[in-house]
Amino acid sequence: MIKLQGSLKISGDKSISHRALIFAALSVGESKIRNLLESRDVFATINILKELGIKIRKKSNFWVINGNGTDGFLEPNKALNCENSGTTARLMIGAVASNPISCTFIGDKSLSKRSMSRVTNYLEKIGAETKLTKENYLPLMITGSNNLLPYNHSCSIPSAQIKSALILSGLNIKGKTTIIEKRKTRDHTERLMKYLNLNFKIKKFKNKQTLLELNGPYEIKSKDISVASDPSSAAFFIVGALITPGSKIKLTNIALNPTRIEYIKILKKMGGNIRIKKTRKLCGEDVGTISVKSSKLKGINIDSKLSPLLIDEYPILSIAATQAKGAMTMKGLGELRHKESDRIKSIVINLNKLGFNVEEKNDNITIRYSKTVIKNVKKIRTYGDHRIAMSFSILNLLYKDRILIDDKDCIAISYPKFFQHLKQLQK
């Protein structure tokens, strides 16, 4: 049987890569970015920034960005194509809102089914003009202004993308912008702002709400950025090592942001032999090494309050659950319906097709252990979702390539080197 062994440095973090590019573009002067993730999603952000007048070029092992400041975007000559990237779309909509330009954002078929009003509703309140297709979807037309109003935003949906879009719009607003989060979300944007020496305030309340306060407009001085390796990408290899007997791996340079490694706590509670060692600080992010040994797992219940911190890891946690004794229930997964695919549907349909005992009810997924044998090749549908494709590729390690992935190419959206790295660990 295949087992995973050895050491691996995973590609740069996708969330940080998007933000590093955007902040470098909003800075004044030249920035160098190292270990940038060179995936289709990230290239969508690069191409849009170029259309907005930002000079970006690749050198031997780093990228060079010449920023024009927080009000320096130029009106583009054509529609801005976000392709499959929701992060690109939502963050860039926020970034252009406080510039006096008109833009049209478009995306692929999948992205054009994902809600954009969750961002534009806030931006309209502060003076940006937006027009969405069917009042919710791309294509989107937006006319920004450098006289947007300072505002007190209260985010009802726990989303790092919404929060980051509002932060980016606030950087060029004169006066005080506040953003209240009712539930904690990923904080890469705030960490990068601290690294770039931007003055802002964060207040945490007893009811676990968080208030973020900006006082703009800001002039951001350019600074070189190194991108830590992606913990969400690491999750696939971690689960792969846990479920394949005899495996022992070490993953280096991983971003250990607490809002990104909640899944490791879950896997440890399931019985996973995982050790984390912090090694240094990198551009505001803690980084370190994750060591994993194969383990006997047991099913647990995952509370809905953790869903904002596990949004990208539920597909691979579902794979871990198929190999865990007992039952595992993941609750409050409604936000998964608004990702690259309806991930609740993608997980449940594909696991049931392979013969696993899976049930979905009221946005909860329950997976009960059953010793599943796959005798003949069975094809699963990725629905164009890179995380579904990678998750079932990991499950395939146990079934001798009897699981056929219908669209492996979609993995390039977030992790072009996935199969190369997976093969590197296979012994």
CA 309/CA 15 separation, integer angstroms: 13
Residue 163 contacts residue 155 (beta carbons within 8 Å): yes
> Which residues lie closer than 8 Å to 155 by C-beta, 6 or more apart?
162, 163, 166, 179, 180, 181, 182
Residues 229 and 10 sit within 8 Å (Cβ to Cβ): yes
Helical H segments across 85-172, by residue range: 86-97, 117-125, 160-170
Question: Phi first, then psi: what are they for 239, rounded to 5°?
Answer: -65, -40
Instruction: Compute the distance between CA of residue 180 and CA of residue 157 in angstroms, rounded to an integer.
Output: 11
Closest CA to 118 of 83, 153, 146, 149: 153
Q: Which SS3 state, helix, strand or coil, does residue 55 take?
A: strand
Rounded CA separation 287/279 (Å): 6
Q: Dihedral sign, CA of 57, 62, 66, 67?
A: positive
Q: Extract the tokens encoding 105.
A: 């954002």
Rounded CA separation 333/330 (Å): 7
Q: DSSP letter at 227?
A: P
The rounded distance, in Å, linking the Cα atoms of 293 and 288 is 17
Rounded CA-CA distance 180/172 in Å is: 19
406 is catalytic: no
Q: What share of the chain is helix, strand, coil (3-state, %, to 5)?
A: 35, 30, 35
The DSSP letter of residue 242 is H
Please give the backbone phi and psi of residue 103, each rounded to the nearest 5 degrees, phi first: -135, 150
Tally the C-alpha atoms within 13 A of residue 63's C-alpha that lie toward its C-beta: 27
Whether residue 217 is preceded by a cis peptide bond, meaning omega within 30 degrees of 0, is yes
Contact between residue 315 and residue 343 where contact means Cβ atoms under 8 Å apart = yes
Question: Which residue in the list 13, 230, 312, 385 is annotated as catalytic?
Answer: 312
Residue pair 354/378 in contact (Cβ under 8 Å)? The answer is yes
Query: Nearest-CA neighbor of 120 among 111, 109, 129?
Result: 129
* Ordered DSSP codes for 95-135: HHHTSS-EEEEE--TTGGGS--HHHHHHHHHTT-EEEEETT
Query: Residues with catalytic annotation?
Result: 312
